[in-house]
């Protein structure tokens, strides 16, 4: 990877793209630390519990690079844009009109992007209103004043300004991501997510060190126990990283043979190829869906004030918190279910079979048409199951580590979703740079 970066830096055009991407990331990180009017940022520090315990706010805070917990200009980060993209993708399957637009070439793609922007702004407004109300209610519960004006015309004006700033920040992030797509390297949203997660790693290791130090100073653990826990955490992190890198490129290749066709004086086809089915076709989406669903009950219970109760809702909150084995089991099952769901709406074996038949291709030993679609479905189900188990294991490792250590080693920011995003973005960006260098016939790279 570093050799690819060095070779890409030697090409003026790629170097300018890399510098442009870095400039966008610097602008983003500056906006992520930029305060907005009418918020008491000294009081924000007292709301640390809102972004812990496996709630959905903790996950949003990781994706925003800690901007969500600080309520800065870019607090909403890429979440509205990602949600809008997912919604449009699901609607493309459910609504035939949107599917026809998406298949209408370049013009259709631009129209879908334009609709996605409008949906992003709408979701940003809704999310900003919800976030403002959450901050207001949580501040009242803690007895702190987050906003200097809470009533009358001044209160309404300050609320409008705060909501407008959050919405503008989400729109700015969308614009920055699209600029990376147009003039930079890699996918804009993925690159911003990558920068956010990497930017949060120092605080992750600092928090881990503080937890170990606190356990030792309070005699909760011996020095040997603290060292063992620390070394075990680093080893598991490195092993998980290696495992994700290895499995990200794994694929099942179905052999395909093309018949010879004579058009005029030329003969086409006759070669052997393969249909690659990646082990992790769904990417990080099943983990995002599963984490969101399993976090919703704890988030609602926390906001309703039932987190510390001894009744049924208090039990549910503790059972579904990130320090519970029940949370790991539910997350494991949901990831498998969502992996199959996402593949069912994003991969159509019948369409693949028809494309093969139209191009004169066939799978050896399998008749074209319906038998080919059934064979691809059979192989796909096995591959998806293995990929779902892979995602579940990666996602549940930090949870199990947290449970085994009794909450001492809470490394949720190094979870399966963040790990897959980091590895996936790095590999995809390197592939894109290699492809661009190959197109330019860069001899140093080809050697």
Determine the 3-state secondary structure of 185 from DSSP.
coil
Residue pLDDT, tens place only, 310-327: 777 778 877 777 777 888
- Better-predicted residue by pLDDT, 316 or 381: 381
Q: How confident is the model at residue 51 (pLDDT cuts 50, 70, 90)?
A: low
**Statement: residue 82 has pLDDT above 80:** yes
pLDDT of 445 over the 60 cut: no
Residue 257 reports pLDDT greater than 80: yes
Flag the least confident range among 43-47, 49-53, 318-322, 433-437: 49-53
| Residue-averaged pLDDT of the chain | 79
- DSSP state, residue 40: -
Report the share of the chain in percent with pLDDT over 70.
Answer: 84
| pLDDT, position 346 | 77
**DSSP 8-state class, residue 367:** -
Which phi and psi angles does 31 have, rounded to 5°?
Answer: -65, -30
Structure tokens at 372: 């080919």
Given this model, what pLDDT does residue 446 score? Answer: 47
Tens digits of residue pLDDT in 143-185: 777 777 667 778 888 889 999 999 999 999 999 988 998 888 8
- Dihedral class, residue 387 (left if φ above 0, else alpha if ψ from -120 to 50, else beta): alpha
Q: With 90 as the cut, is the pLDDT of residue 121 above it?
A: yes
CA separation, residue 421 to residues 195, 284, 384, 429 (Å): 10, 7, 19, 12
Q: What is the pLDDT of residue 160?
A: 92
> Looking at the predicted structure, is the pLDDT value of residue 29 above 50?
yes
CA 160 to chain centre: 30
Evaluate whether 1-200 and 221-407 have a shared fold. Answer: yes
340 or 209: which carries more pLDDT confidence?
Answer: 340
Residue 91 clears pLDDT 70, i.e. is over it: yes
Q: Can you tell me the distance from the alpha carbon of 108 to that of 121, in angstroms, rounded to the nearest whole number?
A: 20
Determine the average pLDDT of the residues in 179-193: 85
| Mean pLDDT comparison of 32-41, 225-234, 239-248, highest-scoring range | 32-41
Contact 35, 67 (CB under 8 A): no
The pLDDT assigned to 428 comes to: 78
Q: Per-residue pLDDT for 38 more than 60?
A: yes
Domain boundaries defined on the chain = 1-200, 221-407
- Reported for 210-217, long-range contacts at CB under 8 A and 24+ positions apart, including other chains, are 211/408, 211/409, 211/410, 212/408, 215/408
Write down the pLDDT at residue 447: 46
Residue 71 Cα distances to 22, 145, 289, angstroms: 24, 14, 24
For residue 268, name the pLDDT band (cuts at 50, 70, 90): low
CA angle (16, 20, 25) in 5-degree steps = 150
DSSP state letters, 202-269: HHHHHHHHHHHHHHHHTTSS-HHHHHHHHHHHHHHHHHHHHHHHHHHT-EEEEEEEEPPEEETTEEE-
pLDDT confidence band for 235 (50 / 70 / 90): confident
Of the candidate CATH numbers 1.10.3370.10, 3.50.50.60, 1.10.260.40, 3.20.20.80, the domain formed by 1-200 belongs to 1.10.3370.10
Q: Is domain 221-407 classified as CATH 3.30.200.20?
A: no
């Amino acid at each position: 990877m570093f050799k690819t970066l060095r070779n890409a830096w030697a090409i003026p055009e790629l170097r300018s793209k890399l510098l442009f991407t870095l400039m966008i990331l610097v602008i983003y990180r500056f906006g992520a630390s930029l305060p907005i009017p009418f918020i008491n940022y000294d009081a924000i520090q007292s709301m640390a519990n809102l972004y812990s315990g496996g709630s959905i706010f903790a996950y949003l805070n990781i994706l925003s690079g800690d901007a969500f917990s600080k309520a800065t200009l870019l607090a909403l980060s890429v979440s509205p844009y990602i949600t809008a993209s997912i919604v449009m993708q699901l609607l493309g399957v459910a609504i035939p009109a949107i599917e026809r637009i998406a298949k209408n070439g370049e013009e259709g793609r631009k129209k879908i992007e334009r609709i996605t922007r409008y949906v992003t702004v709408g979701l940003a407004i809704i999310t900003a209103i919800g976030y403002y109300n959450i901050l207001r209610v949580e501040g009242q519960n803690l007895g702190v004043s987050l906003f200097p004006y809470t009533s009358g015309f001044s209160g309404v004006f300050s609320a409008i300004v705060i909501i407008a700033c959050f919405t503008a920040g989400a729109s700015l992030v969308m614009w920055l991501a699209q600029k990376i797509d147009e003039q930079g390297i890699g996918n804009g949203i993925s690159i911003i997510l990558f920068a956010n997660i990497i930017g949060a790693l120092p605080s992750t290791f600092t928090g881990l060190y503080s937890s170990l130090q606190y356990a030792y100073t309070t005699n909760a653990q011996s020095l040997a126990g603290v060292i063992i826990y620390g070394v075990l955490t680093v080893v598991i992190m490195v092993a998980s990283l290696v495992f994700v890198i290895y499995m990200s490129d794994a694929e099942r290749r179905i052999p395909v043979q093309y018949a010879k066709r004579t058009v005029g004086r030329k003969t086409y086809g006759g070669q052997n190829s393969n249909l690659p089915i990646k082990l992790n076709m769904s990417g990080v989406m099943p983990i995002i869906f599963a984490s969101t669903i399993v976090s919703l009950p704890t988030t609602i219970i926390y906001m309703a004030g039932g987190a510390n109760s001894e009744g049924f809702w208090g039990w549910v909150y503790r059972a579904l918190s990130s320090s519970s084995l029940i949370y790991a089991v539910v997350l494991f099952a949901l990831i498998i279910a969502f992996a199959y769901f996402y593949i069912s709406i994003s991969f159509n074996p019948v369409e693949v079979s028809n494309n093969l038949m139209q191009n004169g291709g066939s799978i050896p030993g399998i008749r074209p048409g319906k038998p080919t679609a059934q064979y691809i479905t059979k192989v796909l189900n096995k591959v998806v199951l293995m990929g779902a188990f892979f995602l579940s294991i990666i996602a549940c490792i930090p949870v199990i580590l947290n449970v085994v250590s009794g909450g001492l080693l809470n490394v949720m920011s190094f979870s399966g979703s963040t790990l897959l995003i980091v590895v996936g973005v790095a590999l995809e960006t390197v592939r894109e740079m290699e492809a661009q260098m190959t197109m330019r016939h860069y001899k140093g790279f080809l050697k």
